[in-house]
Structure 1
Amino acid sequence: MSRQGVILYGPPAAGKDTVTTALTKQSPRYAQFARLKVGTGKSSGYRMGAAERLRELEAAGDVVYANSRYGNTYVIDRPGLDDSFAAGVPVVHLGQVDGIRALVDGYTADWSVVLLWCPRTVTAQRSAGRGDSDTTARLAAWDATHEDLDAHPDLAWDLTVDTTAVSPQEAARLIDQLLMRRAGAASV
């Protein structure tokens, strides 16, 4: 059986953290992939690292994808993915189509790609409601995510979830069912 992973794509405050929490409550095999973060700010959900560590990963060819946002660099690295797959089913959060393509093309696994979506006004409400100090930057990221989607109309999603209409628990159930179907199809 091939290794399974989940990519949750969507704008800020679309529910990536909340759906991942619901997935991990549904089954201990799921775990959020902790990207390497070079910078400052929120550390929860990340492996914090220095610029030197990023240079080492780059020199070794172990950076699968990196992006900069909010004044930080976020890295999906091969050693981190190896560890995550050894532990179960990693759930990778992304907000860039280039990141999806880099991950699917650059790290061999059976990736299920899920679009989590919410309107811009909902991102603003959720960001303010959780006390983000950078809601304006998050809305700019929402705009960039929307433009990214518009620029890639050919991108196929394994599952699309409107997080204003579907509860996190239902989204988790749908994602789990998707992976079970794919695992069943792969074993035939």
Structure 2
Amino acid sequence: MRQGVLLYGPPAVGKDTVTAALAELSPQYVPFTRLKVGAGKTQGYRMGTPEQMAELDARGDVIYRNERYGNIYVVDRPGLEQAMEGGRIPVVHLGQMVGMAQVTTLFPVHWVRVLLWCSKETVALRSPQRGDTDTAARLTAWDATQADLAAHPHAQWELSVDTDTATAAEAAKRIDATVRATSPHA
């Protein structure tokens, strides 16, 4: 059975760093590269056009889309299918509970849902360290993520990791252990 990892958390919580640590643990883990329509940072995204978005929408291949920082970010069916080829386990980054629900509902595979969290103060420190020029927007997104999480008190997580105290390597090992323990092949 195909499987994936959903990392939920605010900006600068360490989703990229934890994903890189997972990939170091096993080449089976691959970062899911979301489609991005807009400007700004291009690394870590498949850059797309409004026309490509319209084509994906028309085919029903948009699993989840959100708008933030003046851009559109998309989790798409073709991208997920490709990421899972050869038994790979894509690691999808999300910051909205509606996205978690849509991905698990509209792309039904074995998903391990992981809540990554850190303090707002940590985001304020990490954001400029990683080169963000819009730290104020990242802090606003942290507030929105906290409110989103609070609005879903019954959300189910296979794992929760506080990245204020856990290193990326520790988080990756815990995620890998959870994936293996909950795998339909276990």
TM-score (norm. length: structure 1): 0.96
**Runs of 4+ in structure 1 over 6 Å off:** none
Number of the residue aligned with 2:56: 57
Number of the residue aligned with 1:4: 3
1:90 positional shift: 0.2
Number of the residue aligned with 1:30: 29
Runs (5+) with no aligned partner, structure 2: none
Q: Deviations over 1:145-183 (max 9, x none)?
A: 000001000101110000011110010001110111112
Code of the aligned partner of 1:133: T
Number of the residue aligned with 1:100: 100
Map of 1:33-44 to 2, 5 A cutoff? 33-44=32-43
1:36 positional shift: 0.3
> What is the percentage of aligned positions where both structures have the same residue?
54
SS of aligned partner of 2:84:
helix
SS of aligned partner of 2:52:
helix
SS of aligned partner of 1:40:
coil
Aligned length in residues: 185
| Pairing 1:46–2:45 present | yes
Q: Deviations over 1:101-151 (max 9, x none)?
A: 000000011000000000001001000222210101101100000000010
CA distance in 1: counterparts of 2:114 and 2:63, whole angstroms: 19
Number of the residue aligned with 1:124: 124
| Pairing 1:180–2:180 present | yes
Map of 1:151-170 to 2, 5 A cutoff? 151-170=151-170
Code of the aligned partner of 2:5: V
Runs (5+) with no aligned partner, structure 1: none
SS of aligned partner of 1:58:
helix
1:187 positional shift: 3.8
CA distance in 2: counterparts of 1:135 and 1:153, whole angstroms: 27
